[in-house]
Chain A
Amino acid sequence: MVIYMQLSTITLDRAEPDKLYTVTEIRTEPAMTRRLRELGLIPGTDISLRRTNWGGAISSYMIRGAQIAFRRETAKRIAVSEHFSGRADNEP
């Protein structure tokens, strides 16, 4: 019995709804980085996608208990990793 744990890093704009992610890196402009930090978004924060509009132009996320929305170009510059942890008991 082996437990597989896989971390895959994507940008936030590719997040799937209601899955939990953890922020690994924030590469936005300084003003935006500061604004995000005020809202509690720093590397290590948990984040999940809540709602999307117009094919992803703007989306809202749950950050530390609050729902915050920002645009795709901001989400593109935030790297998050999803935790896959599962038990694989049928090995190839």
Chain B
Amino acid sequence: MSLDFTGGKSYRVMLAGNPNVGKSTVFNALTGMHQHTGNWSGKTVDTARGTFRFDGVGYELFDLPGCYSLYGGSGEERVARDALSGEAVDAVITVCDATCLERTLILALQVAELHPRTVICVNLMDEAARKGIAVDIKKLSELTGVPCVGVAARSKKGLDGLKDTLRSVCDSEAGAGSRKPPLHSERHQGKLIIRASEIAESCTSVTDRNKAEKKGRRMDRALMGAFPGIPIMLLLLAFILWITVRGANYPSELLRSGLFGLEEIMYSAAIRIGMPPWLRDPLILGIYRILAWVVSVMLPPMAIFFPLFTLLEDFGYLPRAAFNLDPCLRKCGSCGKQALTMCMGLGCNAVGVSGCRIIDSPRERRIAILTNCLMPCNGRFPTVIILMTLFCAPLGLPSGFLSAAGLTLLLAFCVLLTFAASKLLSVTLLKGMPSAFTLELPPYRAPQVGKVIVRSLLDRTVFVLGRAVMVAAPAGLVIWLCSNLTLGDVTLLKAISGWLEPVARPLGMDGVILLAFILGFPANEIVLPIAIMAYSGASTVSDLSNAALLDLLTANGWTTETAVCTVLFCICHFPCSTTLLTVRKETGSWKYTLAAALLPTAMGIVLCLAAHGLFSAFYG
């Protein structure tokens, strides 16, 4: 107990429970916070903290990472154990799943041994009712010797009862004296498991082996397994990508015209207030323009992709996809969960890298992190699509179909590259044995569509805007400087691209493209705009129609080979700055961050050299 800053009492309460029991939903419901919850274990990795008041008393609630046991070896369990044995813990709420009481009660019993002031919160009572499962809370309380409360946190039912019980537990003097430390021998834990099983059996009654259970089994029959599981998975992915690419067009256009229109207004306003050109131009034509470009290109696809992905996640589909792909990824030295991080990487590689936390084995996690940027993110899609559309147009096929087919083939190629790179890493830098792999497949849950979409949209918008400001804005300044400062009688941009020319030629590209990639380090979206700017000799980025763009590129020496090599390098080059920083944060090591930058670049160089060689051999 402590005194909060209003001078009132404040209790410190820990929230523990297995993964997937809806612990974070309980946390959100009590504190009113909006921590992200997902039907996928490993979502909560740091301890979240929130507060709420009830009946004049303040409570500080800590949401511990989900774990199956207090005495296992994983990071989450250590965090939970340390937090619970800390000094100032006034009470612990262990959340259990009414549809899976037998297993989830084990942790509750472990916690009750360790902590006298415990409450067992049985969540998902509504799901249980739907499955024909009834839990006798009173009996549970008697048999465990601990106060129990039934809630349905999603619909906010039973929370008052929970707060009431919490209050009486906190106020009670139970166990004020010292406690004997619990035994964590295998035998004792085994006894706990059996006790949990017996208690759960006496308190649970199944009224009918009913349709919710059967529906789950039918879905599993379709979604799990090579057929029709994998075709469904591919279709689902294609569908999400298609909606993302198509759906983003119109909003991107709107944003672009809106923001560029705003720029004109700002520019004339700047002239009117007498801002000097050396300040006005870099600020508006440099920084603001790039900012506008990044936001209008980046925001719409991410705002579509991630909500869709989150819906799939909440539904419970993602572990099924990991199940389907595990055998394949295992052969490449990794595990099924990497497939999911690869999908996240399609949205944004930084998100994909931090999503690798769901992989338990450190070695496999690193493989997934280092290979993640071989999947092209939303920022690279437009570049790749434009280039493919432009240079395939002469073949006379309708461009919509072409970009879809081309994109699919390209992605298949990226997946193969990822497999190859993972295999390579697993036999060289990251050698080791396959890990103790287990995967929990939670029951399907209807996602709260409205909530997910709104929250995901907000998250994505904040992320993209934040990144645009922090990363693209300074880049915009640098680019403006490069294209407006002169070295001798050419701009800095032309000069540097000239120096890069001899390096770029063997790779099938030219100095401008290479420079564009380098300057695009902060954000991949600006690579194409920079190239356009350099070619047209403009002092700032501008908008071009497809036909004009094709003319500009061919006038500057682009051939099919250039397009192919540029696309290849676009897929395989160093990750953007945000991703690299995320790699550093997740691995905690500069060595791996360097590897994350070098590996794809090296692969890109090799691929481009090979492509250039092939083209030269065939076309002379």
Contacts and interface: CB of A to CB of B under 8 A. Distances in A.
Interface of A: 28-29, 31-32, 34-40, 42, 44-45, 50-54, 57-58, 60, 63-71, 74
A45 B196 CA distance: 12
B194 A51 contact: no
B326 interface: yes
A69 B224 CA distance: 11
Given A31-B436, A57-B330, A60-B224, A65 B103 contact: yes
Contact of B439 (A42, A45, A70): A70
A64 B100 contact: yes
Contacts of B194: 44
Size category of the B interface is 35 or more
Of B197, B442, B443, chain A has the most CB atoms within 10 Å of the CB of: B197
A69 B439 CA distance: 5
A69 B190 CA distance: 21
Contacts of A53: 224-226, 229, 323-324, 326-327
B72 interface: yes
A68 B326 contact: no
A63 B196 CA distance: 13
Given A40-B196, A53-B327, A54-B226, 13 more contacts: A28-B436, A39-B68, A39-B438, A39-B440, A40-B103, A53-B323, A57-B326, A58-B327, A60-B220, A60-B441, A70-B437, A70-B439, A74-B437
Contacts of B103: 39-40, 63-66
B366 to A, nearest CB: 18
B383 interface: no
A63 B69 CA distance: 16
B99 A34 contact: no
B228 to A, nearest CB: 12
Contacts of B225: 51-54
Given A53-B323, A57-B327, A70-B437, A42 B102 contact: no
A77 B102 CA distance: 24
Contacts of B67: 38
B231 to A, nearest CB: 14
B64 interface: no
A54 B331 CA distance: 13
B324 A69 contact: no
Nearest to B70: A38
A64 B441 contact: no
B101 interface: yes
A36 B193 CA distance: 12
A60 B438 contact: no
Of B101, B436, B439, chain A has the most CB atoms within 10 Å of the CB of: B436
Interface in B522-580: none
Interface string B102-135: 1100100000000000000000000000000000
B73 interface: yes
21 contacts: A31-B436, A34-B72, A34-B73, A35-B72, A38-B68, A39-B440, A51-B225, A51-B323, A57-B327, A58-B336, A60-B323, A63-B103, A64-B103, A65-B103, A66-B440, A68-B438, A69-B439, A70-B437, A70-B439, A71-B434, A71-B437
Interface of B: 67-69, 72-73, 99-103, 106, 186, 189-190, 193-194, 196-197, 220-221, 224-226, 229, 323-324, 326-327, 330, 336, 434, 436-443
B49 to A, nearest CB: 26
A32 B100 contact: no
A51 B221 contact: yes
B99 A65 contact: yes
A65 B100 contact: yes
A69 to B, nearest CB: 4
Given A35-B438, A51-B221, A65-B101, A58 B323 contact: yes
Contacts of B101: 65
A58 B436 CA distance: 13
A65 B18 CA distance: 13
A38 B324 CA distance: 24
Contacts of A32: 436
Nearest to A44: B194
Contacts of B220: 50-51, 60, 67
Contact of A51 (B68, B100, B106, B224): B224
What are the 8 A-B residue pairs with the smallest beta carbon separation, nearest first?
A: A38-B68, A57-B327, A32-B436, A38-B69, A65-B100, A64-B103, A67-B441, A64-B102
A67 B434 CA distance: 22
A58 B438 CA distance: 10
Nearest to B225: A53
A71 B334 CA distance: 13
Contacts of B102: 40, 64-65
Contact of B438 (A29, A36, A50, A65): A36
Contacts of B330: 57, 71
A52 to B, nearest CB: 7
A58 B72 CA distance: 23
A69 B229 CA distance: 16
Contact of A68 (B229, B439, B443): B439
Contacts of B68: 38-39
Contacts of A51: 220-221, 224-225, 323
A37 B69 contact: yes
A37 B436 CA distance: 13
B384 to A, nearest CB: 32
